[in-house]
Amino acid sequence: MEKIVKTPVPVAGMGWSVIGEEEIAAVTKVLQNPGNLFRYMEGSQCDVLEKAIKEKTGAEYALFVASGTAALACCLSAFEVGPGDEVIVPGYTYIATAAAVIDVGAVPVICEIDDSLGMCPIDLEKKITSHTKAVIPVHMQGIPVRLDAIRAICKKHNLLMFEDCCQAIGTKYKGKWVGMEADAAAWSTNFFKTITCGEGGVFLTNNADAFQRGVYQSDSGMTMWKTTLPLTREIKPYSRSGVRGNEIAAAVLTAQLEKLDGMLTHTRALKKRLISKLNKPINYKLQHVDDPEGDSGFSFTMIATDRHVAEKLNKMMVETGLSIGSVYNEGFPDRHVYAHWDPIIKKLSATPAGYPWADPAYKGNVQYSADMCPNTLDILQRCLRITLNIKMTEANIDEFAEAINAVDAAL
């Protein structure tokens, strides 16, 4: 194939974001007052960040913690999910979604995805048992899942719903930030996420009692600290993890949060331009997006008619200069496919007792295998994806579209 993509394709500085003078200034300000490096000091940067997040999202409560995994564990513990409970997670997400379930003593149940690359509502309902207590849909790559359908199922079966928004900060669904109508939600702000402080997470909820339990989950000594957190409920305290946020990371993230709207305006415009310039597909279809207006715009995915077609399309696109690959076959994304979650698939417990699967409180009998979700594996093996970022230009997008159209027509 003739080389079509000739304009240099830029990459963002950290994950999809960029660290600039604003973040450097924010960190410098914190370090100039080293006596306040602990989050419970007066004028805490964590407090500033949490207030900004609440104002931006409309959430009643926000807690900055050490990671997205920790934020998910806060969601679960906040609503008293634990030993004896099953929690349904999709087969396409980072292993942390399932690991957080195990962290609180519950058992993850893995369900299929569909062409949204999110949780399949049909298979979700099939996986519900008398032990199911909660569902965790995941908005992968900033694209909202089929939320209306999943919400309806959770309501029908009286299940808790926690949204994993770790890859979807700023993503919306029908005008509202994803996670805001769930029982609780989690963000990740590590290196690879929409906005980043290197490593961090945020636990969000509108439930006052749950927030207080989530705070207990995050800090084993919470009852010993005098804080500015709104802990006004008569909730029995308990000690759990030590995953509270830190001041330097909070300062970086506050600066990043101020850049978020501009970043998403750019990536959303790029994706809309790319889709508008594509010819009618012959050998592929576009990923289903339940709310295109809410899509963050930094991930574009084609789903080929079969795996062999995907391989041919990939090879031909590389020849045109377009770097594109399969979600399933690339080395790094394998960590996001359930078949590679060996500690879970093989029930590798941290204790000889086989916790949490053999916990006396658990009366179920969930079974795992690498091929237990064949539809998920089939869809992912047919996916070809381009990651868009804030440094890309319209020229990049136009060449991407030209290359896709040329290859699809030539195959």
Question: How distant is the alpha carbon of residue 224 from its chain centre?
Answer: 32
Phi, psi of 63 (to 5 degrees): -135, 120
> CB burial class (10 A; 0-12, 13-18, 19+) of residue 277?
middle
In terms of Cα–Cα distance, which of 150, 73, 84, 81 is closest to 114?
150
What string of DSSP letters covers 136-158? --B-GGG----HHHHHHHHHHTT
C-alpha distances (whole Å) from 102 to each of 15, 39, 271, 325, 347 are 27, 28, 37, 32, 10
Burial per residue of 19-49, b for 16 or more beta-carbon CB atoms within 10 angstroms, e otherwise: beeebeebbeebeeeeeeeebbbeebbbbbb
Active site residues: 193
* Length of the chain (residues): 411
The helix/strand/coil state of 325 is strand
For 167, the token pair is 């890859």
Q: Is the peptide bond before 292 cis (omega within 30 degrees of 0)?
A: no
For 53, the token pair is 């997040």
